[in-house]
Structure 1
Amino acid sequence: MAANPSPLTAPTAEDFRAWHRVQAAALAHDRPGDPIPSEDALRAALTTSGSAYRQVLWLVRGSGADPVATARLRLFTEPARQQLAEVELTVHPAHRRMGAGSRLLATVTEAATDAGCRSLATEVVARSSGESFLATRDFHPVLRMSWLRLVLDELPEQIAKLPQLPHPGYRLTSWEGVVPDPLAAGLARAKQGMADMPVGAVDFGPAEWDEERVRESARVVARRGERLLTVAALAEADGSVAGYTELVLPADGSGIAQQYDTAALPGHRGHGLGLWMKAEMLRLTRSRYPEITEVMTDNADDNRHMLAVNTALGFRPRRRTVIYQLKLRVR
């Protein structure tokens, strides 16, 4: 393997097939039982980004042209987050402990430093070899995460009935794809309200949300070939968005859906809106997309309130991960 891998500037179909081979082998080894994305889904994820960030890709091959390792670096473009870069680095199980990961990480770290970032973050499975790999390279754990799984056929009946219960002063609404124009400004305010979400010591800056970014985030999901389903709680007094929850589904409406954000604005907390909205989301998913078998969600361990909500809905632990962060030298 070359000492200094070069970024993929114009990936070919063969590059994507090779990338998929590395990812499939690593998933089967590190997270047995988890579904392996299709090549088409992987290609869409690697080639789709929004205006808030850009991606740099590396595919490393061995002497026999076999794919050895991959890395995807996310560089944020919004001023409040330009200090942080995120990387997903994967080494094929057959090529581990041979220096490929170390050399590729050094290349990625250099790229993040050159981009002016002060921190580099990545997520690994808890108690895996990835933890020791990072710890010996000056990365430090900054946030512990729990990944939870809900099998929809096992959804408790009392949870399925929750959306029917009244919440005085509020009503639920939902949509698929881009937010309706009358709700765009309110959804942007609700997303901005997530600034106090627990993120441990991750070097996040405040995300800036406006109507156009809210619309664009939904379009990015569509360009990846997926569906975005949103449920919102509206205040009866003025129709404003009091909270929302989002779910991303495969384009064909089957398999596993991924829970995205759930939040209530500070002035509307304490009314059980999170549980109410997420229960409605699960009800809609079961009724509209009967081939969705389960929902996955991730939860910062510090976010005890949302962890309690997910547990009440029937989510059960699937795995634990840790976000590690490296302080970069400033040039």
Structure 2
Amino acid sequence: MTELVRQFADDPYRAHVPLGAFDGDALVGIAELEWERDDQARTAYLEMLGVVPERRREGIGSALLERAERIARDAGRPTLVLAADHPADAGSDGDEVLHAPQGDATIPAGDPPARFAVARGYALGQLDRVSVLDAAARADEFRSRLDGLAASARYRVRTWVDHAPDDLLDSLAVAHERMSVDAPSGAIDYELERWDADRVRDDERRTAAMGRTTLTAAAVAPDDTVAGFTVLSLPAGSPAVEQWDTIVLAAHRGHRLGMRLKLENLVLLEATDATRERVYTWNADENEHMLAINIDLGFRPFALESVWQRP
């Protein structure tokens, strides 16, 4: 609950609109709508849409979606993107399946979230693979693997917990901004997020207020600017870790920085909180390079996430 309260607190960069469906005093459905506070932005994202199991097929989800669409239009965001989760092994031989425009993964056309989205005019724009890594007591293994990455030795790696070094703030903001549009996006209209040093600090404060610990490893180029970074987010009171953004800027690719950064942050993870057992990550199904790194590290399939947009 602390996370939700803090997430919906006043945010100067991103609007958050929580929606709830009530039957009397009982909350039976929820949705969360977000968009960039940028006059040029035209897309809103429905980050969450759910109805309690015993109240499904009563039109509650449809009512929440319709309200979200209306709010987004009124806010000048006519394009709405929504997401849904599916088991990694959903479907069987003979099932009709849906393909995203890019990548090889599929989901059953008969999955309830897929039927819900298609019936309301949304098209499947991307599939993300959700993967999990058993990370407990593996720091020595990760350190050993780091020793074999001398090809990227001209880049320094700096790590920190929660608070980025002042001297990296400006170039770290550039890397965050590129992350918003450089990651594979399939047919989804992800829009540019405008970042500067103030937004980096605001994001740190907001995340800390949610009770999370944030671990970052950044590659620093010879000109002392951030060439790439990766972030692990540790929710309070959980054995799990979420892999957040990972990016290597285009000019610095080809030096195995992605693998090096992830290994450095996994070593930092055990040094910071050895009780954490698992790391979850989300990757576009067409992002072959990052998926190869994760498979090499030992990530295994956990689920699929579908992303939809009304054409």
Q: Is the shorter-chain TM-score for this pair beyond 0.5, marking a shared fold?
A: yes
For residues 3-14 of structure 1, the aligned pairs below 5 Å read: none
Tell me the C-alpha RMSD between the 2 structures: 1.9
1:292 aligned counterpart, secondary structure: coil
* 1:297 CA displacement: 0.6
Check conservation: 1:156, 1:314, Cα contact below 8 A: no
Instruction: Give the conservation status (yes or no) of the 8 Å contact 2:136–2:275.
Output: no
Tell me the residue number matched to 1:306: 290
- Output one character per residue of 1:195-244: Cα deviation in whole Å (capped at 9) or x when no partner: 32211111122222221112222222112121111101112x33222111
Match of 2:52 among 65, 72, 92: 92
Counterparts of 1:1-331 in structure 2, within 5 Å, are 39-45=1-7, 47-48=8-9, 50-62=11-23, 64-80=24-40, 82-87=41-46, 88-126=48-86, 127=108, 128-153=111-136, 155=138, 158-165=141-148, 166=150, 167-194=152-179, 195-235=181-221, 237-251=222-236, 254-327=238-311
Indicate the SS of the match to 2:241: strand
Distance 1:225 1:199, change over 3 A: same
Distance in 1 between residues matched to 2:85 and 2:183, nearest whole Å: 22
| 1:213 alignment partner AA | R
CA shift digits 1:262-282 (9 cap, x unpaired): 111211100000000001111
Name the aligned partner's letter for residue 233 of structure 2.
Answer: V
Q: Is the 8 A contact 1:155 1:313 kept in 2?
A: no
Q: Work out the CA distance in 1 between the residues paired with 2:138 and 2:161.
A: 22
Q: CA deviation at 1:49?
A: 5.6
* CA apart distance, 1:91: 0.7
- Report SS of the residue matched to 2:277: strand
CA contact (8 A) 1:143 1:322 kept: yes
d(CA) in 1 for partners of 2:139, 2:236: 26
Contact 2:43 2:78 (8 Å CA) reproduced? yes
SS in 2 for 1:217: helix
TM-score (normalizing by structure 2): 0.85
CA distance in 2, matches of 1:121, 1:164: 42
Structure 1 unmatched runs, 5+: 1-38
Shift in alpha-carbon separation, 1:49–1:149, aligned structure 2, 3 A: farther
**Does the aligned pair in 2 maintain the 1:176–1:228 contact within 8 Å?**
yes
Maintained 8 Å contact 2:215/2:268: no
1:306 corresponds to which letter in structure 2? M
Which amino acid in the other structure matches residue 298 of structure 2? G
| Structure 1 position 159, deviation (Å) | 3.6
Runs of 5+ consecutive residues of structure 2 not aligned to the other structure: 87-107
Give the drift of 1:56.
Answer: 1.4
What secondary structure does 1:133 align onto?
helix
Deviation of 1:164 (Å): 3.4
Distance 2:10 2:306 in 1: 24
2:67 match: secondary structure: helix
SS of the equivalent of 1:203 reads coil
| Higher share of residues assigned helix | 1
Cα distance 1:156–1:231, how it changes in 2: closer, same or farther (>3 A)?
closer
Report how many aligned residue pairs link the two structures. 284
Sequence identity of aligned pairs in percent? 33
SS at match of 2:239: strand
For 2:25 and 2:84, the matched residues in 1 are separated by 27
